[in-house]
Amino acid sequence: MPRLTLLAALLLTVFGTHADEVQVAVAANFTAPMQQIAAGFEKETGHKAALSFGATGKFYAQIVNGAPFEVFLAADDETPARLEKEGHAVAGSRFTYAIGKLVLWSANPDLVDAKGDILKKGGFRHIALANPKTAPYGAAAIEAMTKLGVLARLEPFFVQGENISQAHQFISTGAAELGFVALSQVYKEGKVTGGSMWAVPASLYQPILQDAVLLAKGKDKAAPAALIIYLKGPKARAIIKSYGYDL
């Protein structure tokens, strides 16, 4: 379906309907901004967004096996495209809602230097990252370490989280001295919220294009259609930008 035709259909679905609930699968890196967006969405439309957070790869498996999700906000662009191709998502509904950034972060304000040289110098026992097989930020971390030539040396120190939220938890609780997380997890309104950080240069990993898609179970339903429209609007985009994402 052409994109303009799809948007018109979504608008027709949204208006003149009663408030409802939409089941949303959300990549773990987008937890904080999506919680804020969902609150504004409910206040403005009356619809409620029931949010589930996790790894993109695991959500893919759940969706193809019949999970009741109606909208999917992934941490990559490949998984939504695959769901669309396989008929699990509405053709033409996919769009990039955010471009993610990878950072090396420590809860210790004096540990991570501004150039990330600690990866070559060492001096730590554990480094956290998300599972690269299911989490795009984990895959980006592996790619960055490979290009820096430090992967083989650092692998024995890996503490692997199921998703990027668990990787962040390992670092914030001290289970790992440092690790790779999403900028959005340690950044708000133009500043790092604590600890020390190195923004991994974009040249060291493939762009993290995060796509959203209307899933087949959400087709022709008011709340999912309304959320897709809201995510593209200025209020949601302002929140996304405030967490350090590019648009």
Domain boundaries, the chain: 3-99+208-242, 102-199
Instruction: Give the pLDDT band (50/70/90) at residue 7.
Output: low
Residue 18 has pLDDT above 70, yes or no: no
C-alpha distance across the termini of the chain, in Å:
24
Of the candidates 208, 24, 27, which has an alpha carbon nearest to the alpha carbon of residue 134? 27
The 10 Å CB-count burial string (b at 16+, else e) for 96-132 is ebbebbbbbbbbeeebbeeebebbeeeebebbbbbbb
Query: Which distant-in-sequence residues (6+ apart) come within 8 Å of 131 by Cβ?
Result: 55, 57, 138, 160, 161, 162, 163
d(CA 163, CA 132): 9
pLDDT of residue 16: 46
d(CA 247, CA 231): 12
Structure tokens at 154: 């650092």
Of the candidates 89, 85, 92, which has an alpha carbon nearest to the alpha carbon of residue 73? 89
Grouping H, G, I as helix, E, B as strand and the rest as coil, residue 25 is strand
The residue whose two tokens read 């096996």 is 65
* 126-184 pLDDT tens trace: 999 999 999 999 999 999 999 999 999 999 999 999 999 999 999 999 999 999 999 99
Task: Let me know: does 135 contact 56? Beta carbons within 8 Å.
Answer: yes
Grouping H, G, I as helix, E, B as strand and the rest as coil, residue 140 is helix
Q: How many helices (H) and strands (E) does the chain have?
A: 10, 12
* 100-137 pLDDT tens trace: 999 999 999 999 999 999 999 999 999 999 999 999 99
d(CA 10, CA 221): 9
Residue 89 has pLDDT above 90, yes or no: yes
Residue type, 122: G
The architecture CATH gives domain 3-99+208-242:
3-Layer(aba) Sandwich (3.40)
Residue 164 marked as a ligand binder: yes
Residue type, 48: K
pLDDT of residue 11: 52
Structure tokens at 188: 């708000």
Q: Given this chain, do its domains 3-99+208-242 and 102-199 carry the same CATH topology?
A: yes
Query: Which distant-in-sequence residues (6+ apart) come within 8 Å of 203 by Cβ?
Result: none
Query: Which distant-in-sequence residues (6+ apart) come within 8 Å of 220 by Cβ?
Result: 13
Task: Let me know: does 117 contact 182? Beta carbons within 8 Å.
Answer: no
% of the chain at pLDDT higher than 70 = 93
* 186-225 pLDDT tens trace: 998 788 889 999 999 999 999 999 999 999 999 999 999 9
The architecture CATH gives domain 102-199:
3-Layer(aba) Sandwich (3.40)
Q: Which helix (H) or strand (E) holds 78?
A: helix 78-85
Say whether pTM exceeds 0.95: no
d(CA 84, CA 82): 5
Residue 84 has pLDDT above 60, yes or no: yes
Task: Let me know: does 169 contact 220? Beta carbons within 8 Å.
Answer: no
